[in-house]
């Protein structure tokens, strides 16, 4: 069992380098399948467990992969032979479902283990499958696997009941090689979707409207390898900003796309965080006089990201007054709350809302990371807690944060990994 120990109440200061975005790198790696010729050169790819699972998966399909060991990954997909994502891999990483669209487009066939319930909600893939069906694929589910097949995909009008990030990505990738034009209405508009669409266009696709709720894809005959820069991780950036606001000092993070972080910056500033941009692509958080309780609601982009909700709750435990946080994206995403309460936080959950009363004096204890961002929230709480906090199941955190222990230690945190038990 991976564990991280934090001795709290140390002041943080210094610079943090933000890694390439996990949620952009994963779909971009999956989209590499679409290149029938040439090589894709992708960077900076964050060296995370989820990325390693995706690379294993791509290799199992026959893709040739090389890395330079410092963040560049080269992928050749000319020899694609496999069309299946087995249980072992989908179970380790839900984003494995993102290979479906590219496989269906290139081979006319894909088979994946159905992702089960995961810690932050049931997370079905019905919108992905309805999109494939609209493009002319036959969809069959048997024995815990779902299989999609089509002779040739046909462009279609697809309305998403919800702007799902994964469904938008999967359908957009499938439609690149379809015959005719596809429209995705009520599409997700996350920065990671823009990064993926730009990559697909660099490979030869014809996609417009990305970054809005209406994406149009004109099918092309084939795609070829190209170079792609992966955007900085806005969720990692938000986590270190909150660390600085909680325990700084002066903490500067970069590179960041500040435009992609407007909702997070607005809510942190509303709570009294002193955040300034002294240089392009950088943000600095300075000590603030006093944090105040705020209300916040998670929403699809450009709303406040659900992936920062647990970290927001961690900082709101230190704000004066009451805060009401409403989670609208996932139905079961308050699992960090009981753990924070064990550290002394005063939080009540009712349905999709959490009422936080602060400020609370947090004290260190052993807590469990139930998922990636819940784990990040517990580390943040540990930074301000009195005494020692041990976060168990820390492997969840390593799925999404490159070298979190090393990065926080460089800022002055007293943090270390404990030997696995
Ligand atoms: C992606 C991100 C994840 C983030 C989430 C929301 C990646 C690899 N992961 O996940 O970190 O928390 O966006 O910003 O990019 N839904 C359905 N049917 C579907 C698909 C989704 O009902 O077919 C529901 C989900 O259960 C959830 C909501 O839609 O309640 C949002 O999910 P979605 O946007 O698809 O998230 P992911 O792409 O899985």
All structural domains of the chain with their residue ranges = 3-18+232-418, 22-229
Give the mutation target among 90, 95, 123 for probing the ligand 1 site: most ligand atoms within 8 A of CB.
123
Structure tokens at 372: 């990636």
The residue whose CA has the least distance to atom 24 of ligand 1 is 123
The residue whose CA has the least distance to atom 1 of ligand 1 is 165
Residue 118 is among the residues annotated as catalytic for this protein: yes
Say if 3-18+232-418 and 22-229 have the same CATH topology. Answer: yes
Residue 123 Cα, ligand 1 centroid: separation in angstroms? 7
Does pTM top 0.85 for this prediction? Answer: yes
The residue whose CA has the least distance to atom 2 of ligand 1 is 23
d(CA 194, CA 165): 11
Give the mutation target among 165, 169, 239, 310 for probing the ligand 1 site: most ligand atoms within 8 A of CB.
165
Cα atoms in the 13 Å half-sphere on the side-chain side of 236: 29
* CATH superfamily label, 3-18+232-418: Enolpyruvate transferase domain (3.65.10.10)
Identify the H or E element spanning 3. Answer: strand 3-7
305 CA: nearest ligand 1 atom: 14
* CATH superfamily label, 22-229: Enolpyruvate transferase domain (3.65.10.10)
Which residues of 145-293 form beta strands (DSSP E)? 145-149, 157-159, 181-185, 206-208, 214-218, 223-224, 227-229, 248-254, 274-276, 283-286
Q: What pairing do the DSSP bridges indicate for beta strands 109-113 and 84-85? A: parallel
Per-residue pLDDT of the chain (421 residues), as tens digits, is 899 999 999 999 999 999 999 999 999 999 999 999 999 999 999 999 999 999 999 999 999 999 998 899 999 999 999 999 888 888 888 899 999 999 999 999 999 998 765 566 667 899 999 999 999 999 999 888 999 999 999 999 999 999 999 999 999 999 999 999 999 999 999 999 999 999 999 999 999 999 999 999 999 999 999 999 999 999 999 999 999 999 988 999 999 999 999 999 999 999 999 999 989 999 999 998 899 999 999 999 999 999 999 999 999 999 999 999 999 999 889 999 999 999 999 999 999 999 999 999 999 999 999 999 999 999 999 999 999 999 999 999 999 999 999 999 999 999 999 987 7
Residue 9 Cα, ligand 1 centroid: separation in angstroms? 35
The CA–CA distances, whole Å, from 250 to 15, 128, 275 equal 9, 44, 10
Given 41, 118, 273, 341, which residue is catalytic?
118
The residue whose CA has the least distance to atom 26 of ligand 1 is 123
d(CA 16, CA 410): 8
**Ligand 1, CB within 6 Å, residue ranges:** 23, 26, 95, 121, 123-128, 162, 164-167, 192, 306-307, 329-330
d(CA 154, CA 182): 8
């Amino acid at each position: 069992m991976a564990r991280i120990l934090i001795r709290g109440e140390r002041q943080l200061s210094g610079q943090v380098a933000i890694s390439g975005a996990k949620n952009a790198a994963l779909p971009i790696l999956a989209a590499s399948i679409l290149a029938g010729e040439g090589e894709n050169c992708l960077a900076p790819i964050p060296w995370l467990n989820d990325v390693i699972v995706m690379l294993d998966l791509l290799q199992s399909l026959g893709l040739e992969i090389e890395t330079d060991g410092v963040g560049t990954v080269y992928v050749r997909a000319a020899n694609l032979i496999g069309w299946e994502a087995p249980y072992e891999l989908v179970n380790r990483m839900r984003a494995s479902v993102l290979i479906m669209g590219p496989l269906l487009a290139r081979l006319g066939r894909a088979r994946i283990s159905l992702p089960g319930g995961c810690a932050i909600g049931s997370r079905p893939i019905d919108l992905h499958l309805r999109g494939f069906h609209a493009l002319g694929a036959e969809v069959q589910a048997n024995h815990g696997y779902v299989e999609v097949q089509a002779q040739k995909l046909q462009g279609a009008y697809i309305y998403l009941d919800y702007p799902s990030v994964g469904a938008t990505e999967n359908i957009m990738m499938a439609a690149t090689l379809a015959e005719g034009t596809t429209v995705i209405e009520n599409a997700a508009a996350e920065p990671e979707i823009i990064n993926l669409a730009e990559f697909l266009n660099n490979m030869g696709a014809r996609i417009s409207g990305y970054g809005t709720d209406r994406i149009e894809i004109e099918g092309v005959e084939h795609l070829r390898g190209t170079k792609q820069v992966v955007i900085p991780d806005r969720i990692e950036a938000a986590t270190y900003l909150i660390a600085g606001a909680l325990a700084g000092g002066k903490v500067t993070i970069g590179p960041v796309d500040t435009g992609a972080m407007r909702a997070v910056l607005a809510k942190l500033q509303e709570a009294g965080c002193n955040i300034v941009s002294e240089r392009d692509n950088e943000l600095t958080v300075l000590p603030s006089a006093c944090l105040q309780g705020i209300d916040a609601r998670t929403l699809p982009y450009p709303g406040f990201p659900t992936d920062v909700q647990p970290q927001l709750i961690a900082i709101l435990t230190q704000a004066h007054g009451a805060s009401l946080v409403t989670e609208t994206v996932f139905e079961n995403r308050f699992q960090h709350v009981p753990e924070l309460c064990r550290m002394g936080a005063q939080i009540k959950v009712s349905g999709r809302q959490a009422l936080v009363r602060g400020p609370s004096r947090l004290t260190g204890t052993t807590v469990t990371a139930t998922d990636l961002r819940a784990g990040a929230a517990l580390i943040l709480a540990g930074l301000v807690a009195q005494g020692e906090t041990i976060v168990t199941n820390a492997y969840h955190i390593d799925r999404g944060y490159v070298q979190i222990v090393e990065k926080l230690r460089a800022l002055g945190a007293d943090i270390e990994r404990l030997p696995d038990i």
